[in-house]
């Protein structure tokens, strides 16, 4: 997607990395060891479909094995290539380090447009791709654990998990070979929406940071903020839904691949989503203005711009005209290195991808732990917690009656207090804690160092520091 006069996605990530390491004092040679991609495997395989053999090309790239397993999604798109997969694998290394998910970085991709195939054909293709990767240990609960990304979902993850189980019938931890699975196939509550939920928590963390808000020239809370979102897929849909329904944001524009919808009063995300689901396009949606040149809306006035589709969409050709004071990178690599520089000079604040979309890998980590422990989170504690809370409520009510105090606990309080945390509550709590902690680490560097003037460099400093620490501990 990067225009011809800009570096590739991979080079763009490296340029951003280099900016940060220039401010660090790493042992000689370690910088390069961290930056390079360890290995990329290319596979070409055939699948018989519609009476003939079709050949597909896929990749699995391992950027860093300083921790294992390595982790990263599998993308289905015609734009997939080695350069893109390696850039995304590198981002996974930095992302996992930043949010303390104990993984190295990896990524995979298959060069297809999933819309060209029916479900049965996609299952055949996915299983064959998985087979090629599994037999080389490039999908394995201890070594390499994929997840969904653009063009894939829990459906593909269930096929991959099943394929692994068929090939490793005695591996008791087999289901942990992939995350983002449906609940009935070993998934975890809250994974599907985790990346979008993480974007919401990241924005909440940003809006608690008064210094950060000041740098962006924003005031107040999220309520009423005008948001433009690009891509109403898994990440974009959930982020837009939660921000509008729970934080009072106004989604003034939704940009999709075939145009954009715009409404100054705010769009109904659920209605737009179901329109796209039915018609496969945003065109024809009644309650909004339609703009055929969707990408133009990236430049429209708003408070928060959320690119949640693909990389390179904010580049040297449009960065100067982007008006949003705050950009949160829900997609991976939506801002090129060149555009990043332009925007920094303009004073635009960017919440970087490696932090903003880390909700997905965070909950994937919880899913992997759940799979390895073979028990649902909360199963052992929930009733015990409820029983202890019941004791407190009973005692308060007894005291009130004995002493004639006339206290009554409101039914709403009792209902909430007495309910023990189930898996979804625990996942949300763990995700919120992760996003808040990582924001604090990143913003501390941003605000306290004179030589750091943006959140991306701060994020790189924190994460590269952690990767370097683990290399040091290993004696490398
Ligand atoms: P998805 O396939 O569910 O959705 C992508 C959406 O973007 C689709 O609605 C598609 O129509 C739209 N789109 C494609 N090209 C477009 C264009 N040129 N202009 C506007 N819209 C366009 O993918 P996703 O899982 O939501 O991933 C989106 C981004 O988030 C990717 O960069 C991905 O790497 C990143 N991400 C995803 C996850 C995850 O858990 N799914 C986690 C971390 C990061």
Tell me if 38-187 shares its fold with 194-359: yes
Q: What is the pLDDT of residues 80-93, one digit of tens each?
A: 999 999 999 999 99
pLDDT at 475: 77
Taking 60 as the threshold, does the pLDDT of residue 2 lie above it? no
3-state SS assignment for residue 289: strand
- Residue-level length of the chain: 476
Q: What is the pLDDT of residues 304-331, one digit of tens each?
A: 999 999 999 999 999 999 999 999 999 9
Report percent pLDDT > 90 for the chain: 97
Stretch among 3-12, 184-193, 431-440 having the lowest mean pLDDT? 3-12
For ligand 1, mutation pick of 77, 93, 180, 309 (most atoms within 8 Å of CB): 309
Task: Concatenate the DSSP letters of all residues of 109-171 into one string.
Answer: EE---GGGS-HHHHHHHHHHHHHHHHTTTSSBTTTEE--B-TT--HHHHHHHHHHHHHH-TT-
Taking 60 as the threshold, does the pLDDT of residue 448 lie above it? yes
**For the chain, domain boundaries:** 38-187, 194-359, 379-420
- Match domain 38-187 to its CATH number in 1.10.10.10, 3.40.50.300, 3.40.50.10860, 3.90.1150.10: 3.40.50.10860
- Place 416 in a pLDDT band, splitting at 50, 70 and 90: very high
Specify the fold of 194-359.
Rossmann fold (3.40.50)
Q: How many angstroms separate the alpha carbon of residue 231 from the centre of ligand 1?
A: 6
251 near 267, Cβ under 8 Å?
A: yes
pLDDT at 4: 65
pLDDT at 5: 81
Give the mean pLDDT of 266-281.
Answer: 97
Q: Can you state the percent helix, strand and coil of the chain, rounding each to 5?
A: 50, 15, 35
Record the pTM: 0.96
Closest CA to 243 of 309, 278, 174, 196: 196
Which residue has tokens 């501990």?
473
Give the mean pLDDT of 157-171.
Answer: 98
3-state SS assignment for residue 55: strand
Q: What is the pLDDT of residues 374-396, one digit of tens each?
A: 999 999 999 999 999 999 999 99
148 lines ligand 1 (CB under 6 A): yes
256 lines ligand 1 (CB under 6 A): yes
259 lines ligand 1 (CB under 6 A): no
Taking 80 as the threshold, does the pLDDT of residue 42 lie above it? yes
Q: How many angstroms separate the alpha carbon of residue 412 from the centre of ligand 1?
A: 39
pLDDT at 3: 62
Which is the catalytic residue, given 71, 95, 107, 215?
107
107 noted as active-site residue? yes
């Amino acid at each position: 997607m990067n225009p011809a006069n800009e570096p590739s996605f991979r080079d763009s990530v490296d340029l951003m990395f280099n900016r940060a390491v220039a401010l660090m004092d790493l042992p000689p040679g370690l910088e390069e060891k961290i930056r390079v991609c360890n290995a990329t495997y290319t596979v070409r395989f055939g699948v018989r479909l519609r009476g003939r053999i079709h050949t597909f090309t896929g990749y699995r790239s391992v950027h860093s094995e300083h921790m294992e397993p390595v982790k990263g999604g599998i993308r289905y798109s015609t734009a997939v290539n080695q350069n893109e997969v390696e850039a995304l694998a590198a981002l996974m290394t930095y992302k996992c380090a930043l949010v303390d998910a104990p993984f190295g970085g990896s990524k995979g991709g298959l060069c297809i447009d999933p819309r060209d195939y029916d479900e049965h054909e996609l299952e055949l293709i996915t299983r064959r791709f998985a087979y090629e990767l599994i037999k080389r240990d490039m999908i394995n609960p201890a070594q390499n654990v994929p997840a969904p990304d653009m063009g894939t979902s829990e459906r593909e993850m269930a096929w991959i998990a099943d394929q692994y189980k068929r090939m490793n019938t005695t591996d008791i931890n087999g289901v942990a070979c992939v995350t983002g699975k449906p609940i009935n196939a070993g998934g975890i509550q809250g994974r599907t929406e985790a990346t979008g939920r993480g974007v919401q928590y990241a924005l909440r963390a940003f809006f608690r940071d008064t210094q950060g808000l000041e740098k962006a020239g924003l005031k107040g809370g999220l309520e009423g903020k005008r948001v433009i979102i690009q891509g109403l897929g898994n990440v974009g849909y959930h982020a837009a839904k939660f921000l509008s329904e729970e934080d009072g944001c106004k989604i003034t524009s939704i940009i999709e691949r075939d145009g954009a919808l715009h409404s100054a009063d705010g769009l109904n995300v659920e209605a737009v989503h179901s329109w796209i689901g039915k018609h496969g396009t945003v065109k024809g949606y009644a309650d909004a203005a339609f703009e055929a040149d969707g990408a133009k809306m990236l430049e429209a006035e708003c408070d928060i711009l959320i690119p949640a589709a693909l990389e390179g969409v904010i580049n040297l050709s449009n960065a100067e005209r982007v008006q949003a004071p705050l950009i949160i990178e829900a997609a991976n690599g939506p801002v090129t290195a060149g555009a990043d520089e332009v925007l920094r000079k303009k004073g635009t604040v960017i919440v970087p991808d490696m932090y903003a979309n880390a909700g997905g890998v965070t909950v994937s980590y919880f899913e992997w732990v759940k799979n390895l422990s073979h028990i649902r989170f909360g199963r052992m504690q929930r009733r015990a917690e409820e029983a202890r809370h019941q004791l407190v409520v009973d005692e308060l009510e007894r005291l009130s009656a004995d002493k004639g105090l006339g206290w009554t606990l409101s039914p709403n309080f009792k209902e909430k207090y007495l309910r023990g945390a189930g898996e979804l509550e625990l996942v949300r709590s763990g995700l919120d804690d992760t996003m808040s902690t990582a924001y604090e680490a990143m913003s501390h560097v941003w605000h306290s160092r004179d030589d750091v003037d943006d959140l991306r460099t701060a994020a790189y400093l924190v994460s590269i520091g952690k990767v370097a620490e683990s290399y040091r501990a290993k004696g490398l």
